[in-house]
Amino acid sequence: MSETIAQSQNENYSKSVGTSAVVLVKGGGNDQSGSGIATVGGTINVPRSVVVHNAHASQVLYVGWGSDVTSSSGFPIAAGGYMEFELLFTDELWAVGSGADTDARVYVLHGKGITFSPLELSPALWLDASDASTISDTGGAVDTWADKSGNGNDVTQSTEADKPTTGTRTLNGLNVLDFDDNVLVNATFTTTSPYTLIAVAELDNQTSSDYLLSSNLLDVVLGFQNVGNAVFIYNDSQQVAGANISTGSHLIVATFDGSSSSVRLNGASYITGTVGTLGMSDLYVGRRSDGAGIFYGGFAEAIIVDGTLTAGQIADTETYLANKWGITI
257-305 pLDDT, tens digit per residue, is 999 999 999 999 999 999 999 999 999 999 999 999 999 999 999 999 9
Within this chain, domains 12-109 and 118-325 share the same CATH topology: yes
Residues composing the chain: 329
Q: What is the DSSP secondary-structure string of 214-282?
A: EETTTTEEEEEETTTTEEEEEETTEEEE-----SEEEEEEEEE-GGGEEEEETTEEEEEE-------SS
Domain spanning 118-325, CATH architecture: Sandwich (2.60)
Q: CATH 2.60.120: does it fit domain 12-109? A: yes
178-223 pLDDT, tens digit per residue, is 999 999 999 999 999 999 999 999 999 877 789 999 999 889 999 9
Domain parsing of the chain, residue ranges: 12-109, 118-325
Quote the CA–CA distance of 234 and 68 in Å, as a whole number.
47
Calculate mean pLDDT across residues 79-106.
79
pLDDT recorded at residue 89: 60
111-141 pLDDT, tens digit per residue, is 433 457 899 899 999 999 999 999 999 999 9
Are the C-beta atoms of residues 122 and 140 closer than 8 Å to each other? no
Separation in Å, CA 96 to CA 65, 210, 276, 307: 11, 43, 40, 33
Lowest mean pLDDT among 98-102, 143-147, 166-170, 318-322: 98-102
CA dihedral 71, 76, 82, 88 (to 10 degrees): -70
